[in-house]
Amino acid sequence: MSKLTRYVMLLAVVFAGMAATLTASAAQDATPVGGGDLRFVVVTHGQASDPFWSVVQRGVDQAAQDYGVTAEYQAPTTFDMVQMGQLIDAAVASQPDGLVVSIPDADALSAPVQRAIDVGIPVISINSGSDVAAELGVLTHVGQTEYEAGLAGGQRMGEAGVTNAICFIQEQGNVGLEERCRGFADGLTESGGTVENLAGDLNNPTEMTQRIQAALSADTEINGVMALGPSAAMPALQGIQASGREVQLGTFDPSSDVLQAIQDGDILFAIDQQQYLQGYLSITFLTLYNRNLNTIANPILMTGPGFVTSENVDQVIQLTEEGTR
C-alpha cells in the first residue's frame, strides 16, 4: 500500500469521525456555538445546471441534510466576476453563519471575500483559489491545485505519445484554467512536447468546435488536445472528428458525456477533482467551526487530481448515475 493510499484512507476515517460527531451532536440537540439554526451561503462561478457544478451542489445539499443546517447555492448566470462579487456582497449582507466561495479571479473577488471576513463571517474557498486562500485569511481551501493537476495531465499525454498539443481554454480570465494550461505545458515539456493555448467561448459550443477543427487543419503536427472541462471537451471531440485526424483528447472534470466518450475510446482520460467532496466538506467544516470551533490547519488538496480512464470508467459511470461523481 502506497503512502498516498494510506493518507487518503486516513482522511476518510477522519471525515467519517467528523460526520459521526456532528450527527450525534444534532441528535442530542446540543446548542451550537453559532446558534441553533445554522445557515450557510455557497457562491461559486459555476451554475448548478452545469454537469460539473450540479455535483458540487449535491454535495452541499447532502451535507446540509446530514447535519441539519441550511445551505443556499448561488452563482452568476454566466462567468461574470462583477455579478459574482455582487452575490458575495449580498450574501454577506444577509449575515449567514458561514460562506463558501470559489475564487477563479482573485483580483476581482478578493475585496468582497475580505469584506465577509472583516465582519466576522467564516469563509471557506473551494475549487479555485488555493493559491490565494491563505493570503485572504479564509478558514481553509478544499479542492485541487490546478497547476499540479495540469502537470499530471501533461505527463500522461506525453506517455501516450503526444508531442504537439492544444490547451483549450473555455473561460477567458479564469485564472484557475490558466494555471491548468501552465501545468499542462510544463508536464508535456518533460517529454519534449510543445503546447499552444487556444481560447474558446463557453457560451458558443459550435464556435468552439469550429476553432478546434480549424486549428487541426492548419497544423497537421498537432496530435493532442487538452480540454479544461466538459463544456470544452465535447465541442473539442466534435472538432477532432470533423477534422478526420487521429488526435488524443484529454479533459478535466468528468461528466456523463465525457465518461461515455472514455468508454467508447474517444477520450483518453478525464482528470477528476471529485467535486462532490468540495461541496460536502465545505459544509462539514463550516458546521464543525460553528458548533465546536474546529479549524483545519492546512488546505484540503486531496480531492484531486485523479484520473478516470478506460480501466475504471465503468465504476465511475455507476457513481455518476447516483449523482455523487
* Residues 282 and 265 grouped into a single domain: no
Question: In this predicted structure, what is the pLDDT of residue 115?
Answer: 96
pLDDT in tens, 225-238: 999 988 899 999 99
Grouping H, G, I as helix, E, B as strand and the rest as coil, residue 7 is: helix
**The pLDDT of residue 175:** 84
- Per the structure, the complete domain to which residue 219 belongs is given by 146-272
Is 59 domain-assigned? yes
pLDDT at 194: 97
Say if residue 246 is in the same domain as residue 284.
no
9/137 same-domain check: yes
Q: How much is the CA Rg of the chain, to the nearest whole Å?
A: 20
Q: Tell me what pLDDT residue 36 has.
A: 54
Q: Look at residue 315 and tell me if it is in a domain.
A: no
Which pTM value belongs to this model?
Answer: 0.72
Q: What is the pLDDT of residue 304?
A: 57
Q: Are residues 32 and 127 in the same domain?
A: yes
CATH code for the domain of 236:
3.40.50.2300
Residue 322, domain member (yes or no)? no
Number of domains in the chain: 2
Looking at the domain assignment, is residue 40 inside a domain?
A: yes
Are both 87 and 97 inside the same structural domain?
Answer: yes
Residues 289 and 263 in one domain: no
Q: Convert 227-241 to b/e letters by CB count within 10 Å (16 or more is b).
A: bbbbbbbbbbbbbbe
Are residue 268 and residue 279 in the same domain, yes or no?
Answer: no
Does residue 301 lie in a domain region?
no
pLDDT along the chain (325 residues), means of 10: 38 46 41 66 87 89 96 92 96 97 93 96 92 90 89 96 96 87 97 95 91 96 95 95 96 90 96 90 96 83 76 85 69
What is the rounded distance in angstroms from the CA atom of residue 263 to the CA atom of residue 260?
5
Whether residue 108 sits in one domain with residue 11:
yes
Residue 31 is predicted with a pLDDT of 41
> In terms of domains, do 199 and 104 share one?
no
One domain for residues 154 and 128: no
Say which residues have a Cβ less than 8 Å from residue 93's Cβ, sequence separation at least 6. none
Same-domain pairing of 86 and 150 = no
Whether 112 is covered by a domain: the verdict is yes
Residue 321 lies in a domain: no
Q: For residues 275 and 59, is the Cβ–Cβ distance under 8 A? A: yes
Please report whether residue 66 resides in a domain. Answer: yes
> Same domain, yes or no, for 164 and 203?
yes
